[in-house]
C-alpha cells in the first residue's frame, strides 16, 4: 500500500511512521545500518516532504524524527539556499538529472546553522516509475568554519596575496594586493600577470616563470610592478610553485610587501651621495620576482581544499610576523612572529602581548590599541623586546576583525622589523644636513671672494684714480700759467668725472663688503643701506628692530640676512610701484625673523608685468635654506607685498 502511494507521487506522513522498515528495505539498507550510519539519511516525497530520516540526520538538524515527518524542505533549509536546492530537486524528480551533489545549509531547531555535503537521488519502481527521493548528508560544518577563518585572515592580511594559473592568469588576489596596484579585485581577475609588469622587465619575468616551473621557490626578492596610473610599485615577493603529483606546473601563490617608500628613500639617499661625492656610479639592486600560476580546473571541493592548504601555507611561511590577539592574549602566532621575538610558537600562545613589548612602549601601546578599536584599522611604530632582552623597532599594522553582527572576534596583527629602514632614514637625514653645511660654506666662500674684490678695488683702483686726480690738477695749474683756457676746461670736466667715478667705486665697495656690517653688526648695516636707498629710489623706508639691543651674529648669517633684505627692497624698487615700505627685524625663540612690507601693487600684479621677479625670490630662498630657514612671499593685508624670512640660529648662532 505504501509503495502505491509513492508511485502516485504523494505519501501520507502519518501512515509512514508505522512503515519505516519498508522504507529501509526500499533503500537497500538493513534497519540497524540505516539508523547507525555515520552520515545523515533522509527520504522525501516527490513534493519534498520528509517521510523518514535516520538518527544522524536528526542529530544534524536537532529535531526528533516525529517532528521531522511531514515537514517540507523549506522548513529546515537555510533561506538563501532554498531556490538553488529546489531547482535541482525539480530536475531530479522530472528525470532531467540522475542525481545531484552540492553543499548547503540547514537551520537547526535551536537556530544554529549546519553545513552539509548532500547527494540526493530518485528511487523508482521496477518499471521506472518515480516513488520518492533519498539523500545522504555529510556534516562539513567544521571544515566550512575553518575555511571561513582562513579566508578572513587572507582577505584582511596587510600584505598582498596573488595566485595565478599555469597560463599566468589571475585567479585570486586579495584586496590589499589590488589596492597596491590601484585596481579593484574584479579588474584584476583573469588578467595576465605580465599586464602589471613594465615591458623592459618582461625578460626577467620570463626567467622567473621558468624557475617556478622547475619548482624553485623564491624568498624575499625585490621586483617592480606597474600600477594602474603607470607609477612604480616596488615589492618584496615570496612565491611558492604549485605542482601536481607528476611534477607538472599548475601555478603559484605569492605574498607581497610594499617597499615603494623605502625604495624612494634609498633612491633619494643615493642621489644625495652622488651629488656630494662627485656623482659616484649608481648601484642598482638586482631585481627578482617569481611568476605565479593558477591551479588547473578542479572540482569545487578540490579547489576549496587546495585553497585552504594554501592559506595555511601563507600563514606558516610568511616573511612577516602574523598574530591574532583576543583580550590582549596571543591566540595564534606564525613562526616568523615567534622567531622575531626569540620564542617558539607554543611559548607565545596564551601569553600577554605586553610580554613582548619594551617597557618604554607600554603606555603608548595602550593608546594605539584604543585607536585601533576606535577606527577598525591602525598603523603605528613601537619597540618590542626579545626573549634575550634585546630591543628592536617594529612597524605594527592592526585590524579589528568582526563578525556579521559587529561583534569583535579578534585583533589581527602584522609585524615587521624596521630597524634597518630606520637606519637608512637616519643616513638620509645626515646626508641632507651635510648638503646644508656645503651650501652654507658656498655662501661663505662667495662673500670671502667679494671681500677680496673689494680690497682689490680699494687698494688699486682707488689709488690709481687718486693719483690721476693729482696729475690732472697739476696739469690744470700748468695750463693756467700757459694761458691754455681750452685745455683747462677739459681738465675740469675730467676731474668731475673722476670724482663721480670715485664715489661709484666707493659705493661698489660698500655693496660688496658693507663696512658697517663688519664693524658694527647687522642693525648698523641695515640703517646705512636704507639711508642710501631712500634718496636713490624715492621710497620712504621705516626700519623697525624689535630687540632693544640686537646681538652680533655669526658673520655668515649676518651677511645672509643683509643680502635677503637688500634683495627684497630691490624688488620693491623695481616692481612694486610703491612709495612706502617697512623693514622689521626681531630675534625670538632662537630664530631670526625678517619682514619686508610695501604698499605697492602686490606680488600677483608684479608677476604679470615682470616675469623675472621669481629669480630674486629664488636667491632669497636659497640663502635662507642654506641655514635651515625659509622665505615666504604673499599679498599683504589690504595692499602690497609681504616678504617673510625666518632663519634658526642652530649651527650659526650668536657670537657676542
State pLDDT tens for residues 269-281. 778 878 777 563 5
In the numeric block, which cell numbers belong to residue 2? 505504501
**Distance from C-alpha of 410 to C-alpha of 335, rounded to nearest angstrom:** 19
**Distance from C-alpha of 349 to C-alpha of 206, rounded to nearest angstrom:** 42
Structural contact between residues 395 and 418, judged by C-beta atoms closer than 8 angstroms:
yes
Tell me the per-residue pLDDT of 292-340, one tens digit each, with 9 for 90 and over. Answer: 654 555 566 676 567 667 777 888 888 889 999 999 999 999 999 999 8
Unique residue bearing C-alpha cell 604673499: 634
List, in order, residues 6 or more apart from 188 with CB less than 8 Å away.
Answer: 170, 173, 177, 178, 181, 196
Q: How does residue 229 score in pLDDT terms, banded at 50, 70 and 90? A: very high
- 3-class DSSP state of 532: helix
Q: How does residue 387 score in pLDDT terms, banded at 50, 70 and 90? A: very high
- 3-class DSSP state of 255: strand
Q: Which residue has the higher pLDDT, 257 or 485?
A: 257
Q: What is the pLDDT of residue 516?
A: 76
Count the neighbouring beta carbons within 10 Å of the beta carbon of residue 399: 20
Unique residue bearing C-alpha cell 676746461: 489
**pLDDT over 70 (residue 128):** yes
Q: What is the pLDDT of residue 44?
A: 93
Q: What is the pLDDT of residue 491?
A: 62
| % of the chain beyond a pLDDT of 70 | 75
Unique residue bearing C-alpha cell 578540490: 302
Write the DSSP string, 398-413: EEEEE-TTS-EEEEEE
Interval 619-625 mean pLDDT? 87
**pLDDT over 80 (residue 542):** yes
Tell me the per-residue pLDDT of 173-191, one tens digit each, with 9 for 90 and over. Answer: 998 999 999 999 999 998 9
In the numeric block, which cell numbers belong to residue 146? 575553518
In the numeric block, which cell numbers belong to residue 117? 555535503
Q: What is the pLDDT of residue 565?
A: 92
In the numeric block, which cell numbers belong to residue 322? 602574523
**pLDDT over 80 (residue 7):** no
Q: What is the pLDDT of residue 384?
A: 93
- 3-class DSSP state of 81: helix
Select from 576, 542, 561 the least CA-distant residue to 620. Answer: 561
Tell me the per-residue pLDDT of 587-608, one tens digit each, with 9 for 90 and over. Answer: 988 899 999 999 998 876 555 4
Unique residue bearing C-alpha cell 582577505: 155
Report the half-sphere exposure of 170 (CA within 13 A, side-chain side). Answer: 21
**Distance from C-alpha of 355 to C-alpha of 337, rounded to nearest angstrom:** 13
Decide the pairing of beta strands 580-588 and 540-545.
parallel
Write the DSSP string, 155-209: HT-SSEEEEEETT-BEEEE-HHHHHHHT--HHHHTT-BGGGGS-GGGHHHHHHHH
Task: State which of 14-23, 118-127, 266-275 shows the largest mean pLDDT.
Answer: 118-127
Least confident of 64-73, 363-372, 456-465, 576-585: 456-465
Q: Which residue has the higher pLDDT, 545 or 459?
A: 545
Q: What is the pLDDT of residue 19?
A: 40
List, in order, residues 6 or more apart from 154 with CB less than 8 Å away.
Answer: 161, 174, 311, 314
Unique residue bearing C-alpha cell 559587529: 406
Tell me the per-residue pLDDT of 445-496, one tens digit each, with 9 for 90 and over. Answer: 566 556 656 655 665 566 566 656 665 665 656 554 454 554 555 566 666 6
In the numeric block, which cell numbers belong to residue 560? 645672509
Interval 100-115 mean pLDDT? 93
Unique residue bearing C-alpha cell 615587521: 416
Structural contact between residues 212 and 237, judged by C-beta atoms closer than 8 angstroms:
no
Tell me the per-residue pLDDT of 35-54, one tens digit each, with 9 for 90 and over. Answer: 878 899 999 999 999 999 99
List, in order, residues 6 or more apart from 242 with CB less than 8 Å away.
Answer: 249, 250, 251, 252, 253, 293, 295, 306
- Average pLDDT over the chain, rounded to whole? 81
Q: For the CA atoms of the chain, what is the radius of gyration?
A: 43
Tell me the per-residue pLDDT of 495-522, one tens digit each, with 9 for 90 and over. Answer: 666 776 676 666 666 666 677 787 888 8
**pLDDT over 80 (residue 533):** yes
Distance of CA 254 to the CA centre of its chain: 20
Least confident of 147-161, 337-351, 585-599: 147-161
**pLDDT over 80 (residue 284):** no
Q: What is the pLDDT of residue 150?
A: 67
Task: State which of 147-151, 291-295, 438-442 shows the largest mean pLDDT.
Answer: 147-151
Q: How far is CA 83 from CA 74, 78, 395, in A?
A: 10, 10, 48
Q: How far is CA 207 from CA 211, 213, 480, 500, in A?
A: 7, 10, 100, 79
In the numeric block, which cell numbers belong to residue 147? 575555511
Interval 624-629 mean pLDDT? 88
User: Is the pTM higher than 0.95?
Assistant: no
Q: What is the pLDDT of residue 363?
A: 86
**Distance from C-alpha of 345 to C-alpha of 318, rounded to nearest angstrom:** 14
Structural contact between residues 272 and 245, judged by C-beta atoms closer than 8 angstroms:
no
**pLDDT over 60 (residue 17):** no
Amino acid at each position: 500500500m505504501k509503495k502505491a502511494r509513492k508511485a502516485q507521487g504523494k505519501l501520507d506522513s502519518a501512515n509512514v511512521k508505522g512503515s519505516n522498515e519498508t522504507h529501509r528495505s526500499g533503500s537497500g539498507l538493513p534497519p540497524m545500518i540505516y539508523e547507525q550510519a555515520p552520515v545523515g539519511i533522509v527520504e522525501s516525497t516527490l513534493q519534498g516532504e520528509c517521510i523518514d530520516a535516520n538518527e544522524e540526520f536528526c542529530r544534524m538538524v536537532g529535531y526528533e524524527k516525529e517532528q521531522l515527518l511531514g515537514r517540507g524542505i523549506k522548513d529546515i533549509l537555510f533561506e538563501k539556499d532554498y531556490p538553488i536546492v529546489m531547482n535541482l530537486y525539480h530536475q531530479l524528480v522530472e528525470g532531467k538529472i540522475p542525481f545531484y551533489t552540492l553543499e548547503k545549509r540547514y537551520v537547526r531547531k535551536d537556530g544554529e546553522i549546519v553545513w552539509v555535503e548532500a547527494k540526493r537521488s530518485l528511487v523508482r519502481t521496477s518499471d521506472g516509475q518515480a516513488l520518492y527521493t533519498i539523500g545522504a548528508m555529510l556534516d562539513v560544518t567544521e571544515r566550512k568554519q575553518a575555511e571561513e577563518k582562513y579566508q578572513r585572515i587572507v582577505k584582511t592580511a596587510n600584505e598582498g596575496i596573488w595566485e595565478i594559473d599555469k597560463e599566468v592568469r589571475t585567479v585570486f588576489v586579495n584586496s590589499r594586493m589590488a589596492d597596491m596596484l590601484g585596481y579593484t579585485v574584479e579588474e584584476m581577475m583573469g588578467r595576465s600577470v605580465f599586464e602589471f609588469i613594465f615591458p623592459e622587465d618582461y625578460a626577467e619575468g620570463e626567467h622567473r616563470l621558468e624557475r617556478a616551473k622547475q619548482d624553485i621557490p623564491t624568498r624575499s626578492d625585490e621586483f617592480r610592478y606597474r600600477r594602474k596610473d603607470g607609477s612604480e610599485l616596488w615589492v618584496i615577493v615570496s612565491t611558492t610553485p604549485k605542482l601536481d603529483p607528476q611534477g607538472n606546473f599548475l601555478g603559484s601563490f605569492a605574498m607581497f610587501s610594499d617597499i615603494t617608500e623605502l625604495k624612494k628613500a634609498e633612491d633619494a639617499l643615493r642621489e644625495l651621495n652622488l651629488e656630494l661625492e662627485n656623482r659616484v656610479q649608481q648601484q642598482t639592486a638586482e631585481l627578482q620576482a617569481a611568476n605565479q600560476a593558477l591551479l588547473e580546473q578542479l572540482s569545487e571541493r578540490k579547489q576549496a581544499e587546495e585553497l585552504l592548504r594554501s592559506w595555511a601555507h601563507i600563514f606558516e611561511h610568511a616573511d612577516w610576523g602574523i598574530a591574532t590577539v583576543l583580550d590582549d592574549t596571543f591566540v595564534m602566532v606564525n613562526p616568523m612572529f615567534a622567531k622575531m621575538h626569540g620564542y617558539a610558537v607554543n611559548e607565545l600562545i596564551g601569553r600577554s602581548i605586553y610580554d613582548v613589548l619594551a617597557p618604554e612602549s607600554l603606555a603608548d601601546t595602550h593608546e594605539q590599541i584604543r585607536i585601533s578599536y576606535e577606527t577598525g584599522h591602525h598603523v603605528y611604530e613601537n619597540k618590542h623586546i626579545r626573549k634575550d632582552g634585546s630591543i628592536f623597532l617594529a612597524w605594527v599594522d592592526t585590524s579589528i576583525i568582526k563578525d556579521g553582527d559587529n561583534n569583535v572576534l579578534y585583533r589581527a596583527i602584522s609585524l615587521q622589523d624596521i630597524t634597518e629602514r630606520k637606519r637608512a632614514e637616519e643616513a638620509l637625514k645626515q646626508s641632507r644636513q651635510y648638503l646644508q653645511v656645503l651650501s652654507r660654506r658656498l655662501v661663505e666662500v662667495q662673500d670671502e671672494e667679494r671681500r677680496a674684490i673689494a680690497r682689490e678695488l680699494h687698494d688699486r683702483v682707488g689709488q690709481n684714480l687718486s693719483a690721476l686726480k693729482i696729475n690732472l690738477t697739476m696739469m690744470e695749474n700748468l695750463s693756467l700759467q700757459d694761458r691754455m683756457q681750452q685745455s683747462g676746461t677739459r681738465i675740469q670736466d675730467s676731474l668731475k668725472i673722476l670724482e663721480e667715478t670715485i664715489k661709484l667705486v666707493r659705493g661698489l665697495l660698500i655693496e660688496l663688503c658693507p663696512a658697517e656690517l663688519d664693524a658694527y653688526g647687522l642693525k648698523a648695516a641695515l640703517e646705512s643701506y636704507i639711508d642710501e636707498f631712500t634718496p636713490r629710489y624715492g621710497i620712504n623706508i621705516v626700519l623697525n628692530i624689535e630687540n632693544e639691543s640686537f646681538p652680533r651674529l655669526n658673520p655668515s648669517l649676518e651677511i645672509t640676512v643683509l643680502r635677503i633684505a637688500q634683495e627684497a627692497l630691490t624688488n620693491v624698487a623695481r616692481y612694486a610701484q610703491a612709495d612706502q615700505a617697512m623693514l622689521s627685524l626681531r630675534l625670538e625663540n632662537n630664530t631670526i625673523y625678517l619682514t619686508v612690507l610695501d604698499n605697492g601693487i602686490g606680488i600677483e600684479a608684479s608677476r604679470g608685468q615682470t616675469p623675472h621677479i621669481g629669480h630674486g625670490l629664488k636667491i632669497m630662498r636659497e640663502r635662507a635654506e642654506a641655514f635651515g630657514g625659509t622665505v615666504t612671499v604673499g599679498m599683504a593685508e589690504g595692499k602690497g607685498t609681504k616678504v617673510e624670512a625666518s632663519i634658526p640660529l642652530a649651527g650659526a648662532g650668536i657670537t657676542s
